[in-house]
Amino acid sequence: MGIFSPGFVGRRRDKNPMLPPGQYEVTDFPVLSAGPTPTIELSDWAFSIRAANGDLKAWNWQTLMAQPIDDITVDLHCVTRWSQFGMGWRGVSLDRLFDGVDTSTEYAMASCYGGYTTNIRTADLVNGQAWIAFQFDGEDLAPAHGGPARLLIPHLYLWKSAKWVKNITLMNHHQLGFWENYGYHDVGDPWKEERYS
């Protein structure tokens, strides 16, 4: 390629095989958000899944907490290039919540309190790959990080792990979410460096 920046050495600390291409490690869990943090009382909180045939399954806080809860330790990768390793979460596997729902449809859209949306392939939400997470690092999830509950899809860039998630709708047609409409990638696999479309 031949474009070198003279005098640049770099820290070389990022030659870590756990780091996807173009990422660097942080330890302070940065916050990124397009608007104000919504205030959501647990008594008002609800989450639902709409199947492609229109059927709706819904949970309030009590019925979510009645589900089997997983302890999850994962590395997270943000499209703005930071990665953080070994982050400890608690949440309910989407596999549990999808029980009885036809997940053979190709597309899904997550919608949130505050209006954020992100599109995800249904295949990225099943088989132990995604959770509704409500604790981080032993504490209730802070509102700025998506509390009371957010989607957690660690194998995709973090904008897919929608904060303040309210609904997942399964769809037979393709549709773009919030950042995807602004040129961010449809799928968002950090190991393929799928940042932009």
Partner 1 sequence: MVDWQVAKLVEAHDETATARTLTFEIAGWPGHLAGQHVDVRVTAPDGYQASREYSIASGAAPAAGAAPAAGAADAMGGAGATSTSGAPGGSTLVELSVEELDDGEVSPYLVRGLELGDHLEVRGPVGGYFVWEPSQSEPVQLIAGGSGVVPLMSMLRTHGAAVAGAGPAGHPSPMRLLYSVRAPEYVFYGDELRRPAALADTSMTIDFVYTREAPSGADRSVGRLTRAELETLSLPVAGNPLTYVCGPNGFVEQIAGWLVELGHPAERVRTERFGGV
Residue (4 or 173) nearer to partner 1, CB? 4
Report how many residues bind partner 1 under the rule CB under 8 A. Answer: 42
Question: Under 8 Å CB-to-CB from 99, ≥6 apart: which residues?
Answer: none
For residue 97, the minimal CB distance to partner 1 (Å) is 27
If one asks whether residue 182 binds partner 1 (CB under 8 A), the answer comes out as yes
Binding segment (CB under 8 A) for partner 1, from list 18-26, 96-104, 151-159, 164-172: 18-26
Residue (69 or 87) nearer to partner 1, CB? 87
User: Taking Cα atoms as reference points, which of 83, 98, 68, 67 lies closest to residue 29?
Assistant: 83
Q: Which of 144, 172, 175, 191 binds partner 1 (CB under 8 A)?
A: 144
Binding segment (CB under 8 A) for partner 1, from list 54-62, 122-130, 149-157, 181-189: 181-189
Reading the block at residue 53, the tokens are 């045939």
In terms of C-beta density within 10 A (0-12 exposed, 13-18 middle, 19 or more buried), how is residue 30 classed? exposed
User: Taking Cα atoms as reference points, which of 4, 138, 157, 11 lies closest to residue 84?
Assistant: 157
Alpha-carbon dihedral sign for residues 94, 112, 22, 86: negative
Residue (157 or 179) nearer to partner 1, CB? 179
If one asks whether residue 18 binds partner 1 (CB under 8 A), the answer comes out as no
